[in-house]
Amino acid sequence: MAFTLSNKKAVLASLLLLIASSRPLLAGEDPGAQQLLLAAQRQANLFSPDASPWQLEIDFVAQVRMPAQGHVTYRWESADRWWRKVSIGDFQEIEVKNGERLYTLRNAAFTPLRITELSRLVSVARNTNHLQVKKQKQRVEGGLAISCLEVRKEDEKGEGYEVCVNPPSREIFSYEWKTHPDGNGRQEYSDFVEFHGHRYPRKMELFENGIKVIGAQVVSLSTVPVDQALLVPPQGAIERRLCANMKPPVPVKQPDPLYPKSAIQNRVMGDTTVSMTVFVDGSVGEIQLLGSSTHFLDDATLQTLKGWKFKPAMCGAEPVVSDIQVVVNFRLR
């Protein structure tokens, strides 16, 4: 979901709300390619609703200011009952999903961007429903003939992203997408293991513009019943309601950005990533800077977003508090 703000000399674009779609896969232009994508998604999705209870342990290294080592543990019973603990450096976070409630306990004001990216990397195909194959091409990688599928969500304009699959094994090798204005992101998977009908990668990597920013290695994946004590909400945790078919917040007021004069004079452009909370009245708060390619624009970004107003996220007819991440692109015309 993207939104645009502009003034005479600048454009503030590409607000990305990181909220997964849960709608079914649609028929694509190539039924064979569409079925290959669907089969690969189902096989890769360890987090599927019908999965047996399992425990997953992963070591990872993430590039923050410098490479930092971390570890994540998942204890999974079902899509509505799971526990996760992640640590990197001094940061630690525990998440508990119990029914429609998600509880988050962390020792910092916000979750680092790399942890959010790690969650998407580890999920492999968890949030890739509702995709259409637009084009298919064949190529050879590592001596294997693979199918690379250009996919896009329904009604999405512009470039989508590419999913590369090994047709015989239905293993997903990579996801690749464009980032504004001319960058790219890429997730790579290898060293697959069979687990209860799934093919899950033991090696996972995330690249930004060709540079590896996260490398993850599965330490263990085993069938383990979830200790029910873990599903008790931690004391002091943040509580959010996440219902089925939850509608994300929609901006209704977007003040024009104030592009700093010094940045215009020096033709400074860049991206800023921010997390913020949208409350039930549509106001925003708890705005936190997650990452920035140039600090010249940080204050302008924060001041602009404080003036935003949303139609809040909805669970049926009930407005609910939601947390979103925003990628702001400052570009001179």
> Phi then psi for 327, rounded to 5 degrees?
-105, 115
With a CB cutoff of 8 Å and minimum separation 6, the contacts of 209 are: 179, 183, 184
With a CB cutoff of 8 Å and minimum separation 6, the contacts of 271 are: 180, 292, 293, 327, 328, 329, 330
Return the residue matching tokens 């293991």: 193
Q: What is the dihedral of CA 22, 120, 134, 146, to 10 degrees?
A: -130
Return the residue matching tokens 């992963």: 58
CA 149, CA 37: separation in Å to the nearest integer?
8
Tokens of 143: 């001596």
Of 287, 281, 274, whose CA–CA distance to 311 is shortest?
A: 281
pLDDT (0 to 100) of residue 272: 79
Domain at 31-240, CATH from 2.40.420.20, 3.20.20.70, 3.40.50.10490, 2.50.20.10 = 2.50.20.10
With a CB cutoff of 8 Å and minimum separation 6, the contacts of 16 are: 1, 2, 325, 326, 327
Return the residue matching tokens 């996801």: 175
Residues of the chain with pLDDT under 50: 1-28
pLDDT (0 to 100) of residue 319: 95
Strand pairing class (318-320; 198-208): unpaired
pLDDT (0 to 100) of residue 8: 29
CA 214, CA 63: separation in Å to the nearest integer?
6
> Phi then psi for 228, rounded to 5 degrees?
-60, -20
Q: What angle do CA 242, 248, 251 make, to 5 degrees?
A: 145
Question: Exposed (0-12), middle (13-18) or buried (19+): which is 44, by Cβ within 10 Å?
Answer: buried
CA 56, CA 329: separation in Å to the nearest integer?
36
- The pTM of this model reads 0.82
With a CB cutoff of 8 Å and minimum separation 6, the contacts of 66 are: none
pLDDT (0 to 100) of residue 28: 44
pLDDT (0 to 100) of residue 222: 96
pLDDT (0 to 100) of residue 10: 31
With a CB cutoff of 8 Å and minimum separation 6, the contacts of 310 are: 249, 250, 251, 252, 278, 282, 283, 284
Instruction: Return the SS3 of 124.
Output: coil
CA distances from 41 to 31, 33, 163, 218, 313 (A): 15, 12, 10, 19, 27
Q: Which CATH class is domain 5-18+246-332?
A: alpha beta
pLDDT (0 to 100) of residue 325: 87
Bridge partners for 198 per DSSP:
195
Strands, sheet with 10-13, edge to edge from the N-terminal-most edge strand:
5-6, 10-13, 322-332, 270-278, 284-292
Domain ranges of the chain: 5-18+246-332, 31-240
pLDDT (0 to 100) of residue 329: 73
Long-range Cβ contact pairs of 204-212 (< 8 A, separation 24 or more): 204/121, 204/122, 204/124, 205/121, 206/117, 206/118, 206/121, 208/179, 208/183, 208/184, 209/179, 209/183, 209/184, 210/184, 211/63, 212/63
Q: What is the pLDDT of residues 233-254, one digit of tens each?
A: 999 999 999 988 899 999 898 7
Question: Exposed (0-12), middle (13-18) or buried (19+): which is 292, by Cβ within 10 Å?
Answer: middle
Amino acid letter, 62: A
